[in-house]
Structure 1
Amino acid sequence: MADVASEGASGSGTGPPRAEIALKTIMADPASPDRTHRVLEQALVFGRASLAALYLPGDADLLCLAESAGVPRTLYGLRETYPVRGSSPIADAHRAGRPVWLGPAELADCPDARRASVRDAHVAVLPLSDDGGGCLLAVTERPGGFDGDDRTSLGLVAESLVGPAPAGPAAGEAPRPDAFALAMDTGRAEVGDEILELFGTDRTEFDGRVETLLARTVPEDLPALMSAVEPDHMTIGERELEFRVLRPDGTPKWLRLRGRLLPGGDGRPARLVGTVADASTLRADVTDVARVQRLAAALATAGTVRDVGQAVVAALRKPLRADRIALAELENDRLVVTVLDPPEPESWPELWRREWRTEWPDAPVRAMPTLAAALREGRARIWPAGAGDLEPALAEIGPGGLAVLPLPAVGRMAGACVIGWDGPHEFGPDERALLTASAGLAGQALMRAHAFDAEHELVGMLQRQLLPRRLPILPGGLAVARYLPATAGLEVGGDWYDVIPLPDHHVALVIGDVQGHSTAAATLMGQMRTALRAYAAEGHPPDVVVSHSNRLLMELETDLFVTCCYVDLDMESGTAWYVRAGHPPPVLRHPDGATEILDADGGPPLGVVTRAEFPMTPLRLLPGTVLALTTDGLVESAELDLDTGLDRLAQALSGSDPARLGTVADTLLAGAHRDDDVALLLLRYDGMAVKPLREGWTVWRVPEAARHARRFTRRTLRSWGVSEDARAGTGGAGDMDTALLVVSELVTNALTHTDGPVRLDFTLLGERLRIAVTDASPRTPVKPTGLGWEATGGRGIILVEAVSDTWGTLPVSGGKQVWSEIPLRGRTPPGMRSAPG
């Protein structure tokens, strides 16, 4: 049984001799442009480092990064330059001419430690000579740091780096056939003949400009290639990428660029030097340490636990030619599998199939003692073909070879990665280095992803709670809504929608979007939705509702702004007013299928200008009209401008079937760009089949005001066919008597306890009569808790409650409205009364 964590090569004590042989082989070719990089790779293999970097003296008393190999240096907070007279470990080793060995405790006091993603690291800095010739820096995350063999191997690597590193051809010098040198200040390139042939360009046609070669690149691969040749995107050190070029006959060809940026100085410009080769002729095995770099890059963008697992599988299974690989989180005493490749249960041992939960297994660690021991020790372990001391749950995963990689994180084990081969598999030193480096990267990424998943679920639950659970049933119309979260970034945004029933068969339709994707955006979305609802319920017109919401947002002192569109629709008449605050305009589909984009003037986004104007625009809806409100995620993206997106939405709406409004909403979202959240609100206006009867009167403040109100009530209800016969009602009172009692009490209370205008309104729909008295006081009437026999007032609200089916109060533009609903039992609609006999 072999142990990756305790073997530098194939056995104890053989690391330094094998490192010496490998380094001599590399140094035998001093003209090789990648010699320095290959030397640094030996620090990864024999020194068991996860990162090796070469720092050389540069201009302005700086130590500059000249080359690196392994995982990205940014994981450990390392910089490109360090002052020679500074207090960094690199500067200390350079000045003193002695190696520096630091553990996590010593590194905790270094300024760079605050920038590092990995905390439990060990660092070695070895001077290349005692006269200030630069330094070799190596980093490992292995517990205990570098042992004796590791330190000897790193010393051999440092000795091999003494002397100037190959810097590529000088300006004007002809490069090797497969090499190039690019001046970063002018874009002039010295390119070998083999590279020109790969690009399909003749030497006589090449004008020396890098743009000429970039023009042959497949457009989809151009951004990645530009990241290597633009100074702002390129950092010092080794870089490798693959891209496609179009040959003269139009066929694509995969090429691989490998290069490094050399800093300028003494009047020399910075240069990018390297090689370009046909990717199809390169050997794709694990000896290329760039695979670790690619894994690190993939894990850096992995947002979820599932993403981390998929990145590890993509980076390891094919290069290692493994037959199966599993990644699992460690939760208490169970391994919760997050990725299985292949995913079919029959490809895995019986224990795993027995513990299958929905998609993947949830295996107990105690059922696999060997795996549990590896997790306790925190060391990666491998078994060759025919290992007889493994339990079946592990042996059946890799009968030809098995690797168990504990995934270390800060202070604990995050999980494990298990890799198996069916046929006999030999584990070479390069492969062991790849496994060890990958385990450390995956462990840290798994912990970050787990925290991200927990936060994302919390924010997602918050957003689900803040959006309406269901839309209200509307008289004379139907509303449907859809919310589609973004797939890019997986952060929850602030898109929302709302449908707010208002008095008198009005309804407010709201759609909005808070800037950004974060917990703050989701929280602010909830605050704005609540504010708009509250201001709408107070009876304000749309411009006042939006203006008040803008003022509230300014007072919250947030850095985020909000866009919204607010529509107040009268379901009885089909008339509406709408207001836009920096939001895409509504789109109408008329009954004949014609569409219209309502691009009237609007105000700025909320939270930008304190005293902003939000003009109202009238709108008329005929029965059969569909009103569409959406956020910009549906109609705008990096590839789609707003006007084109609105035109596409209008065209899709025109060809839809309004009778199936839910299907229309789903169809409109089918082509949505998933790099942003999308909220969509559709309303089909059908018109009310039965419209209510309405009548109103302004009450005069005169001594006989209550008697005038009762006279107006009797005259109005008679014209509506309400009976005055006491026998038609219940309890000895008719519908007319009940209505007169309610009017008398509500009007008297308003005149007695408030100042300002008082209005009496009646609404009759079917067999329900609504009586409403509006005054200028915001104070809500309070029902007395008890009345003595000698009291002369306070019984009005008690009487109203007793005779009403339901009653209540509403805030209305600085005042209130007290209302009562009465069921009518003896009404004869006008035109249906019997002729007198």
Structure 2
Amino acid sequence: MATEPEAPGPARRTPPAQVSRSIAAANPLRTAPGLAAGRIVPAVTRGLPTRSGESTPDWLEPAMAANGIGSFDWDIRRDVLEGDQRACAILGLDGSAFDRTSGSFLSMLHPEDAPVVRRRVERAVAELGQCGAYYRTVFPNGELHAVRFRGRVLADAFGRASRMVGFVWDATVELHKRERAGELAALREDRSRFIKEAARALSEAVTVRDVARVFTELPLPGLPPDGLALASLEAGRIALLGASGYDDGLRERFDRAPLHPNHPAAEAIRGRAPVFVSSLDEYRARYPEAAPFANDSGRSAWAFLPLVASGRPIGVCVISFDDDRELDADERTLLSTLGGLVAQSLARARLHDAEHELAAGLQRVMLPRTVPAVPGVTTAVRYLAAGSGLQIGGDWYDVVPLPGGHVGLVIGDVQGHDVHAAGIMGQLRIALRAYAAEGHPPAAVMARASRFLADLDTDHFATCTYAEVNVDYGVVYAVRAGHLDPVVRRGDGTAHSVPVAGGLPLGVAPDEEYRVTRFSLDPGETVVLCTDGLVEARDMDLDTGYERLCDAVAGYLPAVGESPREPLEELADRITARAADSSEREDDIALLLLRWDGPAGGLAAQQLRRRIGQADLARISELRGELRDALRRWGVPEMIDTAELLASELVTNAIRHTDRDAMFTARLYQDGGRPRLRVEVEDESDLWPTRRTPGEQASSGRGLMLVEALADGWGVEPRGTGKRMWFELS
């Protein structure tokens, strides 16, 4: 309740002790039934005493009547309150029968205001001063009115409080103004809060879909709409981005519809200013050609807000109401401000969506569209873009079918996180795939890729791991160029990293020679290759990342009867699920999984085929290791030493005495339960081998002698373009 400041009392004052005694003896507020006891006995009087006993001026009564001011006179000693007719009317009392009790009079005051009035009057009486108050009173018919009064306490000849005289006037209009002002202030505060919350929500909206969702869920303060629609302008048509308050049929009808030139939305877009329509009749009068749109919408009032960004219209917001509504200036300002916020957010979201689509499309072109299916293995791949920037980078994976039914695995990461890195990655991926598909061994593939990247002269380097998997018997030949070691999940569910001999990243040293690391897989075991985005982050070091990766890979064993492909896809999902959230991830993630399934029955294929390059003498050593693994898997370890020696001799002869590649084939046959190994080496030379008898000091010429002495059978067979040398062991 608003109150007025009290004016100081009269100049003449009684000493405090005497005032206390006088009030105790004469003030009914403290000693007798009256105002302090809750009883007021009002009456009606005609006149009002003035100071020094002067009569009332002739002009005072008309002035008070013209301004609706009533007067009162309170005899403090007798506790009798007298008032004129206007005062009684202002208080809601009947002057002709003014015999109400004090209880009934006080009951007319608002419960919150009566104590305040009582305290102020008591203080004025005690201090022989004046007082004023603003309070509310309830009329007999239940109406709430507001009253202002102003009074002064007069003293008798002994300096004691005797009377209070004053004025009273109706302040109901002022009360309503204050209430309305309070409501408007609260509404302005709500609208200011709404604009802040809308700006925050729209600033957090990333995509166009996010902007549409935020807009259609906004609670407009003071004017709750019945329909909201957000649409973009595309080639003269309205593309509906989001709507609420409309059924699906109406949405489908207006979506992608041409924008009529006489439609209010078209006027708003042309004029770059909001258009407000307060009724259906106004809509039909202003836009007769577009009236069917209004009739079908089921609305009666609209606000069309153009969305303008960088001086260019990009769409329109439509806010509609079921009833006629004339929006005031504040409401129109609120909606116009909202339209500006939505326009800026929508423009930013459209740019984000366009960049994201460009990045996603470029990444899709750079990465393999599909992973080829290779019999004997199952593969799964994943690619996760970084959470910031253009969401495109230099990470890639590839699966390359190789001659002889084998498969090559590639995982790599070009330095940088931009379009330039992605372009280099695309070139490097194609070159490395071509080198692998030509049949070059892993070390040669990596060396050629490094020279290729250095020749591009891009000042970028790349890390990479290339692994060639012998599908026949599950042997992996891995080469690493500054990249991460692979992780292998064994058949018992455990997982660990496999150390692979490393070299410099691609493009750093064009003449770098890479070493090959060989390890074996059992049927059902899985190789996991990934880029560093999966195992390294700002808050996670490499060792911790490897531990997390191994934990994610380990422990999952496929159930009996499960599809051989589904468990690997589930494993890939589980690994990527443990990566950092997309909004926090700083680097791309490429993931490649290969499980060697092996043939039915869980045994390795009993055939080994391998092409040996004419100038690749290191391949002979690798071939001996593969043959040892194959014979061990085939269950004939007793043949290993002899077969390894004789196979090495035949291959060496083919490489040294011809100028073409050689094809090595080893097969194990079962003749009545007795194993028989046949090894063949084919070349394209017509020059047949000649058996010689070397001297004691000779350094060569004993190969065929060893074959003849140790093999159960051997020979040379002509082919259409060359020959085939073979031997057998039983």
- Please, what TM-score do these two structures have when normalized by structure 2? 0.51
Structure 2 partner of 1:684: 595
Letter in 1 for 2:476: A
Determine the C-alpha separation between the residues in 2 that align with 1:626 and 1:758: 36
Structure 2 counterpart of 1:653, which letter?
A: V
Instruction: Say if 1:286 and 1:434, in contact at 8 Å, map to a contact too.
Output: no
Which of residues 466, 470, 487 in structure 1 aligns to 2:366?
466
Instruction: Note the alpha carbon deviations across 1:162-217, whole angstroms, 9 max, x for none.
Output: xxxxxxxxxxxxxxxxxxxxxxxxxxxxxxxxxxxxxxxxxxxxxxxxxxxxxxxx
Aligned match of 2:251: 352
Asked if 2 retains the 8 angstrom alpha-carbon contact of 1:459 and 1:522, the reply is no
RMSD of aligned C-alpha atoms? 4.6
Write the deviation string for residues 32-59 of structure 1: whole angstroms up to 9, x where unpaired: xxxxxxxxxxxxxxxxxxxxxxxxxxxx
Q: CA deviation at 1:692?
A: 2.8
Post-superposition Cα deviations, 1:509-528, rounded to whole Å, max 9, x if no partner, equal 11223455543343232212
Q: What are the residue-to-residue correspondences of 1:157-196 with 2, within 5 Å?
A: none
1:772 positional shift: 6.0
* Partner-residue secondary structure (3-state), 2:453: helix
Are 1:381 and 2:275 an aligned pair? yes
Q: Residue 389 of structure 1: SS of its match in structure 2?
A: helix
Structure 1: distance between partners of 2:221 and 2:460? 45
- Counting matched residue pairs gives 443
SS at 2:496 equivalent: strand
Contact 2:277 2:283 in 1 (8 A): no
1:483-522 residue pairs with structure 2 within 5 A? Answer: 483-485=383-385, 491-522=391-422
> In structure 1, what is the equivalent of residue 125 of structure 2?
none
2:520 aligns with one of 602, 605, 620: 620
CA distance in 1, matches of 2:223, 2:316: 17
Kindly report which structure 2 residues correspond to 1:17-56, keeping only aligned pairs within 5 A, or say none: none
Q: Deviations over 1:362-383 (max 9, x none)?
A: 3332297222222222211223
Q: 1:760 to 1:679 in 2, by over 3 A?
A: closer
Query: Is 1:329 matched with 2:244?
Result: no
**Counterpart Cα distance in 2 of 1:820 and 1:568:** 31
Cross-structure match for 1:761: 663
Aligned equivalent of 2:59: none
The SS at the match of 1:585 is coil
Instruction: In structure 1, give the amino acid aligned to 2:607.
Output: P
**What corresponds to 1:480 in structure 2?**
380
Whole-angstrom distance in 2 between the partners of 1:433 and 1:287: 14
- Taking the aligned partners of 2:611 and 2:238, their CA distance within structure 1 comes to 72
How far the C-alpha of 1:496 sits from its partner, in A, is 2.1
Q: Give the Å deviation of 1:331.
A: 1.2
> What is the alpha-carbon distance in structure 1 between the residues aligned to residue 504 and residue 222 of structure 2?
54
CA distance in 1, matches of 2:507, 2:226: 57
Deviation at 1:340, TM superposition (A): 2.4
Q: Deviations over 1:75-109 (max 9, x none)?
A: xxxxxxxxxxxxxxxxxxxxxxxxxxxxxxxxxxx
1:637-786 mapped onto 2 (5 Å cutoff):
637-658=537-558, 659=564, 660-675=567-582, 676=585, 677-687=588-598, 689-692=604-607, 757-763=659-665, 773=683
- Look up the SS of the partner of 1:504 in the other structure: helix
Contact 1:478 1:685 in 2 (8 A): yes
Deviation at 1:499, TM superposition (A): 0.9
Distance 1:413 1:495, change over 3 A: same
Could you tell me how far 1:627 is from its partner in structure 2? 0.9
State the match for 1:570 in structure 2: 470
Higher Rg: 2
SS in 2 for 1:460: helix
Shift of the 504–429 alpha-carbon distance from structure 1 to 2, 3 Å rule, reads same
Report the equivalent of 1:629. 529
Matched residues in 1 for 2:388 and 2:380: separation?
A: 26
In structure 2, relative to structure 1, the CA distance for the partners of 1:477 and 1:321 (3 Å cut) is same
Q: SS at the partner of 2:273?
A: coil
Conserved in 1, the CA contact under 8 Å of 2:301 and 2:325? yes
Q: Are positions 1:305 and 2:305 aligned together?
A: no
Q: Which amino acid aligns with 1:324?
A: G
Q: For residues 287 and 386 of structure 1, do their structure 2 counterparts lie closer, same or farther at Cα, with a shift above 3 Å needed?
A: farther
Contact residue 334 and residue 365 of structure 1 kept, 8 A:
yes
The answer on whether the counterparts of 2:404 and 2:610 sit within 8 Å (CA) in structure 1 is no
1:678 counterpart letter in structure 2: I
Q: Which amino acid aligns with 1:369?
A: H
Aligned-partner SS, 2:373: coil
Letter in 1 for 2:228: I
Separation (CA, whole Å) in 2 of partners of 1:285 and 1:410 = 29
Q: Would the alpha carbon gap of residues 479 and 447 (structure 1) be closer, same or farther in structure 2, given more than 3 Å must change?
A: same
CA distance in 1 between counterparts of 2:377 and 2:721 reads 24
Measured in 1, the distance between the counterparts of 2:349 and 2:457 equals 32
The one-letter code of the counterpart of 1:761 is M
SS of residue paired to 1:664: helix
Instruction: Give the TM-score of the pair, scaled to structure 1.
Output: 0.45
Secondary structure in 2 matching 1:366: coil
Say which SS state the counterpart of residue 470 (structure 1) adopts: coil
- Whether contact under 8 Å (2:191, 2:334) holds in the other structure is no
Compared with structure 1, are the counterparts of its residues 404 and 482 closer, same or farther at alpha carbon in structure 2 (3 Å cutoff)?
same
Question: For 1:545 and 1:464, how far apart are their aligned partners in 2?
Answer: 24
**1:596–1:295 distance in 2 versus 1, CA, 3 Å:** same
Cα gap change, 1:587/1:382 in structure 2, threshold over 3 Å: closer, same or farther? same
CA contact (8 A) 1:586 1:628 kept: yes
1:501 Cα shift?
1.7
SS of aligned partner of 1:680: strand
Q: Secondary structure at the match of 2:529?
A: strand
The separation in 2 between residues aligned to 1:519 and 1:425, in whole angstroms, is: 53
Aligned partner of residue 359 in structure 2, secondary structure: helix
The corresponding residue for 1:453 is 353
Residue 594 of structure 2 aligns to a residue whose secondary structure is strand
Indicate whether 1:339 and 2:242 are aligned: yes
Whether 2:588 is the aligned partner of 1:588: answer: no
Give, in angstroms, the shift of residue 500 of structure 1.
1.0
Secondary structure class of the residue paired with 2:283: coil
The Cα offsets for residues 347-396 of structure 1, whole Å up to 9 and x where unpaired, read as x7x643435xxxxx333322972222222222112233666425464577
Q: Is the 8 A contact 1:326 1:419 kept in 2?
A: yes
| Cα distance change, pair 763–617 in 1 and its aligned pair in 2 (3 A) | closer
Q: CA deviation at 1:407?
A: 1.3
Structure 2 residue runs without a partner (length 5+): 1-184, 285-290, 559-563, 615-652, 670-678, 686-718
CA distance in 2, matches of 1:670, 1:603: 31
* Percent identical: 40
Question: 2:507 & 2:432 partners in 1: Cα distance?
Answer: 14
Q: CA deviation at 1:626?
A: 0.9
Residues 59-458 of structure 1: matches in 2 within 5 Å? 303-313=206-216, 317=220, 321-341=224-244, 346=247, 351-355=250-254, 361-366=255-260, 369-384=263-278, 388-389=282-283, 391=291, 393-394=293-294, 399=299, 401-410=301-310, 412-422=312-322, 427-458=327-358
Is the Cα contact below 8 Å between 2:191 and 2:221 reproduced in 1? no
CA distance 1:325–1:365, change in 2 (3 Å): same
The amino acid that maps onto 1:375 is I
Please tell me whether the aligned partners of residues 771 and 821 of structure 1 are also in contact (alpha carbons under 8 angstroms): no
- Post-superposition Cα deviations, 1:573-600, rounded to whole Å, max 9, x if no partner, equal 4222323344343211111212112355
Per the alignment, residue 740 of structure 1 pairs with none
